[in-house]
C-alpha cells in the first residue's frame, strides 16, 4: 500500500510540473537586467533640405560603423507587454576629410562623429517566450570632433549636440539567458554648443538640425 501511495504521489508531482511551467508568461521571459554589445551602420546628415551652395554639390552626410554597449532593465506588464529603461554609449568611425576635392557642409575642415550617449525607455510585445518586438525613445547627446584651418592656423574643437532618439527592433532569445537583436534608430539634434580646447569657455547654445540614422545588431545576456 505504501508503495502504491508513493507511486501515485510521484505521478502527481510529475503531472504538476508542466502546469507550473505553463504559468510563466511570454513577457516574463524578457524581464530583468541585461547587458549587450552593439555594432552597425551609422549615417549622419544635415537636416536642412536647402543646398548652402548653388554652384556645386556639397556632401551633406558622413557614414561609418557604430559600436558600443548598452544596459537595461525590463519588467513584464501582463501576459505579453514588457516595459523597460535603458542606457547606451556608442562611438562611430563616420568622418570626412576635406583634403579631397569635395567640400562638406558640416565644417570647412575635418569632421568626425564621436561618442553618443542615450538614455530612454522601451515598450515591447512578447510574441512568444523567445521573440519580442519593441519601440523605444529618449534623450540623446552626440559629439562631433571638428578641425578647420584658415591656411595658417588649425582650429580644433568639439560640437556637443542634444536631441531625441526613437527606434524599433526585434529581440530573439538564444538559449536560457543570451539574446540577439536587430534595431533601427533615428536621432535628431536640435541644440548644440562648441566645446573648445584649453581654457577657452564653451560657446552659447545655438540651434542646429542634424539627423542620424543607424541600423545596429546586438548580442547580450539577461541576468
Q: How is residue 52 written as a grid cell?
A: 548652402
Q: Tell me the pLDDT of the chain averaged across its residues.
A: 81
The answer, yes or no, to whether residue 18 has pLDDT greater than 90, is no
Query: Which residue did the predictor score with more confidence, 7 or 71?
Result: 71
Taking only the tens place, the pLDDT of each residue in 186-204 is 999 988 888 766 665 566 7
CA distances from 213 to 42, 104, 136, 142, 161 (A): 6, 18, 14, 13, 15
User: Which residue in this structure is represented by grid cell 537583436?
Assistant: 181
CA angle 127/133/137 to nearest 5° reads: 145
In CATH terms, the fold of domain 25-222 is Porin (2.40.160)
Domain boundaries, the chain: 25-222
* Residue 95 pLDDT: 86
Query: Which residue did the predictor score with more confidence, 183 or 144?
Result: 183
Residue 5: pLDDT band with limits 50, 70, 90: very low
pTM for the model: 0.78
* Residue 19 pLDDT: 43
* Residue 108 pLDDT: 42
Amino acid at each position: 500500500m505504501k508503495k502504491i501511495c508513493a507511486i501515485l504521489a510521484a505521478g502527481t508531482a510529475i503531472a504538476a510540473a508542466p502546469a507550473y511551467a505553463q504559468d510563466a508568461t511570454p513577457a516574463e521571459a524578457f524581464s530583468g537586467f541585461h547587458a549587450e554589445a552593439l555594432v552597425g551602420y551609422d549615417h549622419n546628415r544635415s537636416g536642412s533640405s536647402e543646398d548652402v551652395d548653388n554652384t556645386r554639390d556639397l556632401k551633406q552626410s558622413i557614414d561609418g560603423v557604430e559600436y558600443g554597449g548598452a544596459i537595461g532593465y525590463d519588467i513584464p506588464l501582463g501576459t505579453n507587454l514588457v516595459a523597460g529603461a535603458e542606457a547606451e554609449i556608442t562611438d562611430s568611425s563616420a568622418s570626412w576629410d576635406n583634403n579631397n576635392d569635395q567640400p562638406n557642409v558640416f565644417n570647412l575642415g575635418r569632421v568626425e562623429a564621436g561618442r553618443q550617449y542615450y538614455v530612454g525607455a522601451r515598450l515591447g510585445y512578447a510574441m512568444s517566450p523567445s521573440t519580442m518586438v519593441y519601440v523605444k525613445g529618449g534623450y540623446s547627446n552626440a559629439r562631433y570632433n571638428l578641425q578647420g584651418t584658415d591656411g595658417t592656423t588649425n582650429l580644433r574643437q568639439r560640437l556637443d549636440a542634444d536631441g531625441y532618439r526613437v527606434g524599433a527592433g526585434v529581440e530573439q532569445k538564444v538559449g536560457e539567458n543570451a539574446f540577439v537583436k536587430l534595431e533601427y534608430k533615428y536621432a535628431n539634434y536640435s541644440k548644440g554648443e562648441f566645446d573648445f580646447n584649453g581654457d577657452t569657455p564653451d560657446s552659447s547654445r545655438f540651434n542646429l538640425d542634424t539627423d542620424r540614422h543607424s541600423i545596429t545588431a546586438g548580442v547580450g545576456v539577461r541576468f
